A and B are shown apart, each in its own frame.
Chain A
Amino acid sequence: MAETDEPEKKRRRVVELTEKMLVDGDAGSTSDWDDRWNHIKKFLERSGPFMHPDFEPSTESLQFMLETCKILVIGAGGLGCELLKNLALSGFRNIHVVDMDNIDVSNLNRQFLFRAKDVGRPKADVAADFINSRVPGCCVIPYFKKIQDLDETFYRQFHIIVCGLDSIVARRWMNGMLLSLLVYEDGVLDPSSIIPLIDGGTEGFKGNARVILPGMTACIDCTLELYPPQINFPMCTIASMPRLPEHCIEYVRILQWPKEMPFGDDMALDGDDPEHIQWVYQKSLERAAEFSITGVTYRLTQGVVKRIIPAVASTNAAIAAACATEVFKIASSAYLPLNNYMVFNDVDGLYTYTFEAERKENCSACSQVPSDLHFSPSSKLQEVLDYLTESTSLQMKSPAITTTMDGKNKTLYLQSVASIEQRTRPNLTKTLKELGLADGQELAVADVTTPQTVLFKLCFTS
C-alpha cells in the first residue's frame, strides 16, 4: 500500500508543478514552444512509401504520444540515462523508470544525468529530476525498487516497456512477467494483452537491441544460448594455484577477507570504500609475491572486486538510440519495427548485423508446453537440480522443485529458506524412484529467473 503511494505522490507533485507553470506563464502558454516538435511531426503527419501498412498520418499521433502513451524504462544506469533522454526528446511525456541502485562515483563518466553531488542518491530519482527539469513538460516518475517488488497491476498499465539492464536474471524475470500478462481466449492470443518489450544490452564495444512481442516473437528464453553462462575462476586455482594477478585478488576477496574481517565483524567488503580496496590491494600484492606473479595494481584490484565490466559511453549511446527508435516506431506505428534482433560491434570499424531470432518450440518461458525432463528412475534428484542450473537453455540460479502427490503439494527441494533447505536436503541423494515420482509426472519449478513457475514433465528413460 505505502509503496504505491510514493510514486503517486511524486506524480501529483510533478503535475502540480506543471500546472503552476501554466498559471504563472502567459495566458495560453504551455511548456511547449513554436516548432518544438518539428523534427518528429514529419514522421507522424506525412505519409511515405516505407511506412507501416496500417499507418494513417495525422496530427493526433503526436497528441497520443505526448499525452496518453505510457512507457516504462527498466534501469537508470548507462543505458537507462540514454533511453530517458531519447524518449523525452521524441515526444514521450509519461515515462516511468525503475532502478534499485544508488549512484556510485564510477558511474559518473557515462551516466550523464548524475553529478558528483548526487553520489549516494537513488539513480531513478536523480535521473527523473534531471530529465523533468531539462525537458519541460516531460513527467518521468521514478521507482527506487527492484523489478520484482512491482506486480502485474503495475506493469499492465504500460504501452511499451524498454529495458536497459545489466543482468540476465532480471531480463528473464521481466520477460516472464510480460508473458504472464498474456490473455488467451479459446487458445487464441488477445493482441491487446501484448506489451512489446524492447531490450538493449552492452558490453564494452559490443551491444544488441531487440524487439520482443510476447507470445508472438522469440522471447529472452528462446535465445538463452546467446548469453553463455558467466565463468568464475575455479576455487582450486584461487586457493592453491594462482597464475594471474586476478587470481590473487579473488583469493583475498573470497577467502582472506571473511577470515580476517579487517574492519570489524560483519563488515562486508565494500568496493566503493577506498580503505577496503587499499587493504585488498596490499594483501593481493603479498599473495602475488608468494607466487612471483606480477601485475597486481590498485586499479585492477578495484576492477576485480567490483566486477567492473568495462563500459563505454558510445556503445550505450548507440544501443539506447536504436531501442528508442523502436519505441517510437511501435508507439506511432509509423514504420515496421525491427524484426527482431540487431547486433552492434565497433572494435574494428563499425559493424551491425540484423536477423530474425526464432521462437523455440519448447521454450521453458513462452511455449506454454511443459518441457520434458529425461532421466532414469535411478537418477538422483541432485542430477535433476544440476541439469536445471547448468543447461545452457535453462540456466536457473537456485530452483525450487515441487510436485503434486496424492493430491497434495510436496516440496522436493528448496534452497532459499534455510529450514526447508535442511529438511529437503536429504532428497537430493535419493533416486527419483525412491521419492515416489512416476513417469509423466509434472514438476513445478520456481526460480529467480522467472515470476511464474515453470512446468516440466518427467520422462523416464530405461
Chain B
Amino acid sequence: MSVLCAFRLWGDHGQETLENAHVCLINATATGTEILKNLVLPGIGAFTIVDGHTVTGEDAGNNFFLSKDSIGKNRAQAATEHLQELNSDVSGNFVEEGPDKLLDNDSEFFHRFTIVIGVQLPESTCLRLGSVLWSASVPFLVCKTYGLIGYMRLVVQEHTVIESHPDNALEDLRLDQPYAEFQNHIKSYDLDSMEKKDHSHTPWIIIVAKHLEKWLSEHNGQPPKNYKEKEAFRQLIREGIRKNENGVPEDEENFEEAIKNVNTALNPTKIPSAVEDLFNSEQCKNITAQSPCFWVMLRAVKEFVHNEGNGSLPVRGTIPDMIADSQKFINLQNVYREKAMQDAAAVSKHVESLLQSVGKPAESIPEKDIKLFCKNASFLRVVRCRSLAEEYSVDTVNKDEITSCMDSPDSEMVFYLMLRAVDRFYQQHSRYPGVYNYQVEEDISKLKACVNSLLQEYSLNVNIKDDYIHEFCRYGAAEPHTVSAFLGGSAAQEAIKIISHQFVPFNNTFIYNAMSQTSATLRL
C-alpha cells in the first residue's frame, strides 16, 4: 500500500504515529464509516467498531460500507468486513454491543484507544462517555449528521502540537541581531570589490545585511521603521546595483529579490506571544517527574532564552531558496544550520539538568526530538478543550459565546441550539422529531417546547425563529450521504491531527450547513 503522498505532508514520524494508532468508532452509520474510510486509507494501525444495532434497509441505502446482504446483520460486523477490504495492512475489529452496555461491564474498555469517535450518539451516552474518556485522557471526537447539518465536537484536555506547519510562517533570519558567526560571514563579503558574476549571485540576505549596516551607521543605529524609511532603504539597495560603462544598471535579479524582501528582512526577531503564554503557564513553571516531554523541552527552551539565547528562541536554521550560486547559498545556509545545532545543544543541556532534577534519565528525551522542538519553537501550540460537562452544566455554560453569536442573523449557532433541542426531544419521547411523514406537523409544537425549555434552563435570552424548528422536524433525523461524507473528510483529518500531533485541531465545536455551504467554529 503506497503512502507516498502522505509522507510528504506529515513526514515519517507522522506516518509512524498513524501506524501505531488504534481508533474506536462508535456506530457504523454512514457518517461513521465515511470517517473511518478516511483513516483506513492512509493506514492507521487498527480500528474497532462498537455498535449494537442491526442493519436496516435505511442503513444499507446511504452507507457505502453496507450492502443489501448486510440487512439483518449486526452493523459493526457488516461494516468492518467492507472497511477491512480497503487496506489489508489495517487490523479491523468489531464489538456487537452498544457503548452503554460496554461501560456497564467494563468501565476501562475505552482506555486502550488512541482516540474514540462517537457518531449519532444520544445525549446521555455522549455525556457518560465524555466523562469516562476525560478522566482517562483519551481524546473524544463527537460527530453528528442531522439533515443538512453537520456537527463535530472535540473533547481533549490538553493537546500539544510541536509541528503545527503554519501556512505563512515568518522566516528566522536574525538580520536585526546578527549572531557572531553570521556577522563574520557577512564581513567575508566585499560587494564593491567582487567580480560581476559573484556580485549578481550573492544571496539577498547578504545584500540586505550589508546595506543595513550602512543605514544603521547613517541613522544613529536605528533601523528603517515606517513606510518612508523602508522606501528609502529599498532605494539604497537599488543604488547598490552595478552599472555598466554607460551608467545603465545591470540586470541583477538578486538585488531585485533583496528589494522585494525588505519587509520580511526587517521583521524584528521576537518571541511570539503564543509562546510567551506557554512559558508563563503552570505546566512550564512546575516540572515534575510526570511532566510530558513537551513541557520539559519547553522549560528548557525558556531557560535557554534567559541565558544563552539572550532573550531569543533557538535559531531555526532554515533559509528560503534565493538567487545565488550554489557555493554562496550553501555556505550561508550552513551558517544558520550550525548556529541552530549549537542552540539545540545548549537546550539539550537544560533538558538534561531538568530531567536530572526530577530523577529521570537524560535519554528519556532523544536528541532528535529536542532538535525538532527547537526548529519549531516559534510555532508551538497547545489546544485545551472544555469538557462536555462544562459545556452542558448550567453553571459553566458559555452564555457569552452563545448570545453574541445569536446577535448575527446568519450565525450557525442556531443549529447548535437546535441540535441540543432535538436531543432533549429524544430524551423525552424516545424518538427524534418528524421521522414519519405524519409526525412532521404535530412534532413542531413539541420541538418548540423543547427549544423553550432549553433556553429557559440555561437562561439564554435569544430568539430562535419558527422556521428552524419546522426545518428540524422536516429533517426527520435523516442522515443524507453527502453531508455524512463531508463530515467524514473533516472529522478524519482532525482525528489524524490528534493522532500525529501535527497541524492544529479545531477548538472545540464545528458546525457545517450544507444548505448554504457555510461553516463556523464555536468555542463552547
Which A residues fall within an 8 A CB radius of B?
Answer: 33-40, 42-43, 45-50, 82, 85-86, 89-90, 105-106, 108-110, 112, 134-136, 204-205, 209, 241-244, 291-293, 299, 302-303, 308, 310-322, 324-326, 328, 335-336, 338, 342, 346-352, 354
Contact = CB atoms under 8 A, between A and B. Distances in A.
**Which 10 pairs, one residue from A and one from B, show the smallest C-beta to C-beta distance?**
A317-B489, A318-B489, A321-B485, A35-B57, A321-B486, A349-B506, A49-B467, A36-B61, A314-B493, A89-B481
B489 A299 contact: no
Contact of B485 (A43, A86, A348): A86
Interface stretch (B207-215, B307-315, B472-480): B472-480
Nearest to B488: A317
Contact of A109 (B43, B486, B514): B43
B43 A321 contact: no
Nearest to B465: A49
A112 B38 CA distance: 9
Interface in B1-29: 1-9
Given A299-B7, A312-B9, A350-B506, A109 B58 contact: no
B241 interface: no
Contacts of B474: 42, 46-48
A324 B517 contact: no
B338 to A, nearest CB: 13
Contacts of B164: 348
Contacts of A209: 517
A349 B1 CA distance: 29
B68 interface: yes
B492 A89 contact: no
B62 A322 contact: no
Contact of B504 (A37, A109, A349): A349
Contacts of A134: 64, 67
Candidate in B321, B326, B437 with the most chain A CB atoms within 10 angstroms: B326
B343 interface: no
Contact of A303 (B8, B30, B43): B8
B490 A318 contact: yes
Contacts of B43: 109
Contacts of A89: 30, 61-64, 481
B57 to A, nearest CB: 4
B86 A320 contact: no
Nearest to B332: A243
19 contacts: A35-B61, A38-B58, A39-B481, A45-B437, A48-B474, A106-B5, A108-B1, A109-B3, A109-B6, A136-B68, A205-B9, A302-B4, A312-B5, A321-B485, A321-B489, A338-B517, A342-B517, A350-B493, A354-B517
B279 interface: no
A112 B519 contact: no
B485 A39 contact: no
B61 A350 contact: no
> In the complex, which range does the number of interface residues on chain B fall in?
35 or more
Contacts of B147: 42
B489 A315 contact: yes
Contacts of A291: 326-327, 330
Contacts of B7: 299
Given A36-B57, A321-B482, A314 B517 contact: no
A279 to B, nearest CB: 18
B521 A350 contact: yes
A47 B521 CA distance: 29
A347 to B, nearest CB: 6
Nearest to B520: A352
Nearest to B203: A243
B423 interface: no
Interface string B505-524: 11100101011111101000
B57 A325 contact: no
A43 B496 CA distance: 33
Contact of B58 (A36, A82, A135, A321): A36
B494 interface: yes
Contacts of B330: 243, 291-293
A318 B5 CA distance: 18
B516 to A, nearest CB: 7
B492 A33 contact: no
A44 to B, nearest CB: 11
B515 A335 contact: yes
A319 B514 CA distance: 12
Contacts of A328: 480, 482
A317 B42 CA distance: 13
A204 B502 CA distance: 14
Contacts of B506: 349-350
B167 interface: yes
B521 to A, nearest CB: 6
B110 interface: no
Contacts of B507: 349
Contact of A42 (B2, B37, B475): B475
Given A89-B64, A90-B482, A313 B515 contact: no
B470 interface: yes
B416 to A, nearest CB: 15
Given A46-B440, A317-B485, A310 B41 contact: no
A49 B471 contact: yes
A314 B515 CA distance: 21
Given A89-B61, A112-B41, A314-B493, A322 B166 contact: no
Given A321-B488, A322-B486, A354-B516, A48 B493 contact: no
A85 B64 contact: yes
B492 A313 contact: yes
B58 to A, nearest CB: 4
B404 to A, nearest CB: 19
A310 B8 contact: yes
B159 interface: no
Contacts of A136: 68
Most B CB contacts (10 A, CB to CB) among A46, A204, A242 go to: A46
A312 B37 CA distance: 12
Nearest to A345: B167
A43 B518 contact: no
Interface string B86-117: 11000000000000000000000000000000
Nearest to A292: B330
A33 B488 CA distance: 26
Given A109-B42, A325-B486, 6 more contacts: A109-B41, A310-B5, A312-B493, A317-B489, A346-B490, A350-B494
A190 to B, nearest CB: 28
B275 to A, nearest CB: 16
Contact of A33 (B71, B467, B489): B71
Given A39-B479, A317-B38, A46 B503 contact: no
A47, A112, A320, A354 — most chain B CB neighbours (10 Å): A112
A112 B62 contact: no
B492 A314 contact: yes
A204 B484 CA distance: 21
Given A244-B321, A308-B4, A112 B37 contact: yes
Given A109-B43, A136-B68, A204 B517 contact: no
A313 B4 CA distance: 13
Contacts of B8: 299, 303, 308, 310
Contacts of A303: 4, 8
A411 B167 CA distance: 47
A161 B422 CA distance: 37
B485 A50 contact: no
Nearest to B62: A39
A381 B123 CA distance: 71
